[in-house]
Chains A and B, each alone.
Chain A
Amino acid sequence: AQSVTQPDIHITVSEGASLELRCNYSYGATPYLFWYVQSPGQGLQLLLKYFSGDTLVQGIKGFEAEFKRSQSSFNLRKPSVHWSDAAEYFCAVGFPVYSSASKIIFGSGTRLSIRP
């Protein structure tokens, strides 16, 4: 069955420290991969996405993610976090089921807290 797993429910890092949020998926082929961020009371904002090509993807706000086919992973990274990065982060995976669009499902999210 298709699934998305974010194994870390809550992560706390110090401001200025590096960050890695994990995302794993279960699927027989390469899906479409997304990372979204949701701040308190706000909607979902797309950070970055991967469909094909270079497996290291650059996004907004200094985030990047690397697709590793062998590990079925799409981990989100940032070299130095800022207090404003505190939010909920969702990995999403699109499984192509039709020629025009995909079945898109989300992970359960990782809440990021920043220690001053």
Chain B
Amino acid sequence: DGGITQSPKYLFRKEGQNVTLSCEQNLNHDAMYWYRQDPGQGLRLIYYSQIVNDFQKGDIAEGYSVSREKKESFPLTVTSAQKNPTAFYLCASSVRDGVNEKLFFGSGTQLSVL
């Protein structure tokens, strides 16, 4: 079955540590996104990528980094510069078919700071 796989489901980070969240899709979608969701808040865009080897900053990119070396993979690194990393992270991908755009979500990764 096609879909988006995020791993791990739960992740713990120590102070000063970088951690990487995995996002893989087998939907052959060009576009991929990373969002952050805090309790009681909406999804905020961290980074997005439209094609391989290209990505753009979203609204809250500081303290995060991404890469897009393969179409199916869009890992997110939460660096030590991100002072408040505890949140739920959602990866998504999208495809546009004519004027019809569809967004697909992974199941998310809950990141907590030890």
Least CB distance, B54 to chain A, in whole angstroms: 9
Number of B residues contacting the other chain (C-beta, 8 Å)? 29
Q: Answer whether residue B5 sits at the interface, using C-beta atoms and an 8 A cutoff.
A: no
Q: Given A90-B43, A101-B31, A104-B45, decide whether A43 and B105 contact each other with a Cβ distance below 8 A.
A: yes
Q: Given A100-B31, A103-B56, decide whether A32 and B101 contact each other with a Cβ distance below 8 A.
A: yes
Q: Answer whether residue A60 sits at the interface, using C-beta atoms and an 8 A cutoff.
A: no
The answer for the CA separation of A29 and B58 in the assembled complex, in Å, is 20
User: Which residues of B, 23-39, contact A by the 8 Å Cβ criterion?
Assistant: 29-31, 33, 35
Which of B30, B35, B41, B44 has a CB less than 8 Å from the CB of A101?
A: B30
The answer for the CA separation of A51 and B107 in the assembled complex, in Å, is 26
User: Which residues of B, 56-114, contact A by the 8 Å Cβ criterion?
Assistant: 56, 58-59, 90, 92, 94-96, 99-101, 103, 105, 107-108
In the complex, the chain B residue whose C-beta lies closest to that of A106 is B43
Number of A-B contacts (CB under 8 A): 72
Q: Is the CB of A105 within 8 A of B59?
A: yes
Least CB distance, A72 to chain B, in whole angstroms: 18
Q: Choose the segment among A11-19, A75-83, A107-115 that binds chain B (4+ C-beta atoms closer than 8 Å).
A: A107-115
Q: Is the CB of B42 within 8 A of A102?
A: no
Could you give 30 example pairs across A and B, Cβ below 8 Å? A6-B42, A32-B101, A34-B103, A43-B105, A43-B108, A44-B90, A51-B99, A51-B101, A90-B42, A92-B43, A92-B103, A94-B103, A97-B50, A98-B50, A100-B30, A101-B29, A101-B31, A101-B94, A101-B96, A102-B31, A102-B94, A102-B101, A103-B58, A104-B48, A104-B103, A105-B44, A106-B35, A106-B44, A108-B42, A109-B41
Contacts of A6 in B (CB 8 A): 42
Q: Answer whether residue B40 sits at the interface, using C-beta atoms and an 8 A cutoff.
A: yes
In the complex, the chain B residue whose C-beta lies closest to that of A90 is B42
The answer for the CA separation of A106 and B31 in the assembled complex, in Å, is 16
Q: Is the CB of A104 within 8 A of B33?
A: yes
